[in-house]
Amino acid sequence: MDRAPLATVALALGLGSAARLAVTFEEKAIVALALAACAALSIPFARRLPATLIATVVLVGYAAACIQLAHSKEIRASHTQRYGATVMASNEAGLHQFETTLRLDDGRTLLASLRDASPAPGASVLVRGRVEPFDPPRNPGEPDQRLIERERGFDGILAGAIVLPTLPQHHSSPQILFAQLRSAARERLQQTIAEPYASILAGELWGEKSALPAELRQEFQDTGTVHVLVTAGLHLGIVGWLAILLTTWLQLPRVSACVLVAAIVWSYALFSGFHLPAMRAAMMITFALAARAYGAKALSWNALGAAAIAALLYDPQSVRSASFAMSFSCVGSIFLLAPIIRPAIEMLGALPNRASEALCVSIATQIGIWPITAATFLLFAPYAIVANALVVPLVGVTMLLGAAQILCATVPILAAPVANANTLLLQLVVRVVESAAGLPFAHIVMTPPPLWTIILYDAALLGCVWLLRRGGRTAASSVLLVACALVLWPPRLVDPHLKVTALDVGQADAILVQTPAGHALLIDAGGRLERGPQTGGESVAEHVGEMIVAPFLIRAGVHHLDAIILSHPHGDHAGGIAPVLRRLHAEEFADSGQRYGGYAYNDALAVAHEQRVRIIVSRVGELWRTNDGVMLTFLGPRRPLISGTRNDINNNSIVFMLQYKSFRMLFTGDAGAEAEQRILNEGVDLHAGVLKVGHHGSAYSSTPEFIAAVRPRYAIISVGRHNLFGHPAPQTLETLQRFGAHVYRTDDSGAIVLRTDGYSTAVQATL
């Protein structure tokens, strides 16, 4: 602290911003404790950093966050209308979808999903769509999409976007120029090198989110090497290092060389899209170069602190983002740990200097950031150190060769050998990633550790270094092991209640039941209706399961399912089952037993067979019991199955009653009026405190006779915003309200969470 006053000032500035931006009780409590600790630690160093200075800096951080929030552009939802816009980028996102960046004429940058490829970057277009803000978290534990997209430079979404006729180009700007350069570079890469290597290079060179095969992208993530596909600190650092080599070769004076290198780094940040992670990396490099230019130590805590101060003053809200934490934790861990790790590696004596340095940096980085990556990506990658030590050194070479490919693309005699050499290196990168991902326990699913355990881990690292420098190896090892154990197995409160969570998965169903003893049952798994054939081994229905349902289960601490109950095989209910089974596992899979040709449903059956999950065709009257008193009674479908209705698949949904002591909840899938009447005719006791309303509140279910028999106190409707079906139907809502039900809808309330001790029930909406 005494030797790095700027790092301490940056910490105080960040705490001030965090004090204004903290949302949860945990965040507020941690900020309060950190401020108290910062004040206490400033006392021994009062001569260099008086408490009044620290307090002033905290107030500056708080004020900066207030000012940014007051002046931030707030996107409000609008009706569908036409807008003039400029296409800034268009990347294939799979499943015949193109993720397109549009800069509206009013200055807002929006993200649009198009079914057809958009005009080339730089084109002026007329678009029709509905401007919407990014969603706040709509399911418990979800990251804030607004923060994530701010980092990428987006203000909102243009929903339902359609590109109308292209307009004559009427203006230009540096951003448009760089967008056109990136598009031209992408075309040249595709001309000289095959996929997926062209997409990997595009990710390395300017962070393009190209449509890499889903399995390969997952392998990069599983091995902790996905950061090589996102242009940020690593890539700007490589560019800076190459620029330093150039200035050394040119024998430029030190100050001139530092100015030239900084100019190259900032130009590259502009070319890559000038997103916040790249800007932060450029700031770090610039302050290191400034220190070098004036004869100070370039790689120092003060230089890092100065960069953090600049980044926080420019964008105080970034203090809450994972990428901000990763950026500075990565560099900080190298400063902190490399001096200790390097001598230990050199003692081995078997590695060349470059290999020893790469391994040292990889070890230091991974020790510093693995808790943050675990919280962000929901996994622990045991082989990340080795994978990064092998892959990262190749990234600089492949980037350099990739730039040469782009420049020489029009000269085949030069481009071909460069492309061939780069293909071999990229094949080696992919081989390393695939091999590491194929090792035992390469992908350990991990529930995000609480924020306080990550902060405690970082403090433990500082303590370990302090102890090691004083010869306390045993104490340092003990402190580090305890800190690691807290991150991996943090103490969590045990919920003694039955908990039912109806997820917001759009126009679909997905409900998780967690019993007091920790059993977990998933009823449907979200998705989308599948229109037309699903090709390429992918389904639009499965995307929801991959992006929402499986991550939610992991964040909720569910790493294993006792059972999955699929009410019926339509894609909006079956879509998430295969992705969930691939990432987790289930003991049993209850199916309605209907034949259906949908891709998502048959993929779910295939994965279940592959994993030897017990598949059960539900029968009326069958009872499931858990050892903590939860019972499921199946009420439908009865054989022979209903036929000849407007939708037999829906009418033969699994219907069951969940009971826990006095609590009863009726699940009806998409059962329609015919199925409801059949159950009524059987004289079953249907009264229940909670009803999962059938078929998203459609007019073809929830008849007055059925609702009268159930008489629910609470009615939950899983329904998508702006859906094209008119769900929930006005008559359904009227019927529910007439019988005294309090209606909760996922389109209005986000996920809906019920907790009950078996007698009283509490309902909580996410929004």
Q: What is the CATH number of the domain that holds 105?
A: 2.40.50.140
Is residue 164 domain-shared with residue 28, that is, in the same domain?
Answer: no
How far CA 522 is from CA of 379, 381, 585, 623, in Å, comes to 21, 27, 11, 17
pLDDT at position 533 is 59
Whether residue 706 lies inside any domain: the answer is yes
103-118: average pLDDT: 85
49-61: average pLDDT: 83
Is residue 221 domain-shared with residue 370, that is, in the same domain?
Answer: yes
Whether residue 395 lies inside any domain: the answer is no
Whether residue 432 lies inside any domain: the answer is no
Whether residue 109 lies inside any domain: the answer is yes
In three-state secondary structure terms, 444 is strand
Handedness of CA 512, 514, 518, 523 (dihedral sign): negative
Is residue 478 domain-shared with residue 504, that is, in the same domain?
Answer: no
Whether residue 508 lies inside any domain: the answer is yes
pLDDT at position 1 is 43
41-70: average pLDDT: 79
- Residue 44 one-letter amino acid: P
pLDDT at position 614 is 96
Tokens for 262, please give them.
């900084």
CATH number at residue 691: 3.60.15.10
12-32: average pLDDT: 89
- Residue 33 one-letter amino acid: L
- Which of 71, 100, 127 delimits the end of a domain? 71
Q: Check pLDDT > 70 for residue 537.
A: no
- Residue 265 one-letter amino acid: V
Is residue 443 domain-shared with residue 461, that is, in the same domain?
Answer: no
pLDDT tens digits, one per residue of 342-355: 888 877 766 777 77
Is residue 444 domain-shared with residue 458, that is, in the same domain?
Answer: no
Domain that holds residue 130: 81-171
Query: Can you tell me the distance from the alpha carbon of 670 to that of 522, in angstroms, rounded to the nearest whole number?
Result: 16
Phi, psi angles (nearest 5°) of residue 576: -90, -5
268-279: average pLDDT: 89
Number of C-beta neighbours around residue 185 at 10 A: 22
Is residue 32 domain-shared with residue 113, that is, in the same domain?
Answer: no
642-664: average pLDDT: 95
What percentage of the chain carries pLDDT values higher than 90?
57
In three-state secondary structure terms, 503 is coil
If one compares 498 and 493, the residue with the highest pLDDT of the two is 498
Q: Check pLDDT > 70 for residue 580.
A: yes
Query: Can you tell me the distance from the alpha carbon of 310 to that of 351, in angstroms, rounded to the nearest whole number?
Result: 39
- Mean pLDDT score of the chain: 89
Query: Can you tell me the distance from the alpha carbon of 665 to that of 96, in angstroms, rounded to the nearest whole number?
Result: 40
Give how many domains the chain has, as a whole number: 5
Whether residue 186 lies inside any domain: the answer is no
What is the DSSP-derived secondary structure letter of residue 524?
A: E
Is residue 622 domain-shared with residue 589, that is, in the same domain?
Answer: yes
pLDDT tens digits, one per residue of 315-343: 999 998 888 998 889 889 998 998 888 88
Whether residue 406 lies inside any domain: the answer is no
Upper half-sphere CA count for residue 621 (Cβ side, 13 Å)? 4
pLDDT at position 519 is 96
pLDDT tens digits, one per residue of 701-725: 999 999 999 999 999 999 999 898 9
Q: Check pLDDT > 60 for residue 197.
A: yes
If one compares 270 and 213, the residue with the highest pLDDT of the two is 270
Is residue 17 domain-shared with residue 166, that is, in the same domain?
Answer: no
Q: Check pLDDT > 90 for residue 207.
A: no
pLDDT at position 160 is 87
Number of C-beta neighbours around residue 344 at 10 A: 10
What percentage of the chain carries pLDDT values higher than 70?
95
Q: Check pLDDT > 80 for residue 535.
A: no
- Which of 71, 94, 113 delimits the end of a domain? 71
Lowest mean pLDDT among 87-101, 490-504, 511-525: 87-101
Is residue 611 domain-shared with residue 742, that is, in the same domain?
Answer: yes
Query: Can you tell me the distance from the alpha carbon of 224 to that of 31, in angstroms, rounded to the nearest whole number?
Result: 29
What is the DSSP-derived secondary structure letter of residue 621?
A: T
pLDDT at position 604 is 95
Of 417, 511, 595, the residue nearest 139 (C-alpha): 511
Whether residue 567 lies inside any domain: the answer is yes
Is residue 443 domain-shared with residue 341, that is, in the same domain?
Answer: yes
Is residue 480 domain-shared with residue 342, that is, in the same domain?
Answer: no
Is residue 518 domain-shared with residue 596, that is, in the same domain?
Answer: yes
